[in-house]
Amino acid sequence: MLSRVVVMAGAILLLALSALFFALNSSYQDSIQGRVYYFLGDYAKANALSASAYAKDSYNKMAFTVLTQSTIALKYEAYITQGNQYLAQIDAISTKTEVSDADRSRIKLMCEIMIDGYTALSPTPLTDEGLQERAAVVYKKFKQLHKELF
């Protein structure tokens, strides 16, 4: 009976010391905050916090994971933003009464950039599925546009 009490007290003491370590270690504080921002969808803030945490402690695996995942998420966001900008430019070109050969070449180049850019994205099992779906929608738009026009 006494041994169970000693084991339970040791376990509680170990948990308390672990919690104290994480509470006082600024690297782990930053990585936990970065992880929260990552799950909230603020990938830039998550990237900055996890980079700071990783710079403080290169053995912080949580910081490294959040840094890697937020970098991938930022690439997805940049792809989606660029795709929407290109679609707006293509819409502006399509409203003209006559589309020149230079404009057709520009549209073709935009489509090829976005199609190739999608294949360069490398998702992981931790990458936000919403980002992956939005990027896939943008990719399909450009794939369809390229198929129809060229």
pLDDT (0 to 100) of residue 100: 86
Angle at CA of residue 55, ends 51 and 60, nearest 5°: 85
pLDDT (0 to 100) of residue 44: 96
Cβ-count burial of 82 within 10 angstroms (0-12 exposed, 13-18 middle, 19+ buried)?
middle
pLDDT (0 to 100) of residue 110: 94
pLDDT (0 to 100) of residue 106: 92
pLDDT (0 to 100) of residue 129: 92
Please, what are the averages of pLDDT over each run of 10 residues along the chain (150 residues)? Answer: 82 84 81 94 96 94 95 96 95 86 90 93 90 95 89
pLDDT (0 to 100) of residue 9: 85
Please name the residues in contact with 93: beta carbons below 8 A apart, sequence gap of 6 or more. 99, 103, 106, 107
pLDDT (0 to 100) of residue 21: 75
Q: How many CB atoms lie within 10 A of CB 81?
A: 11
pLDDT (0 to 100) of residue 22: 72
The most distant pair of C-alpha atoms in the chain lies apart, rounded to whole Å, by 90
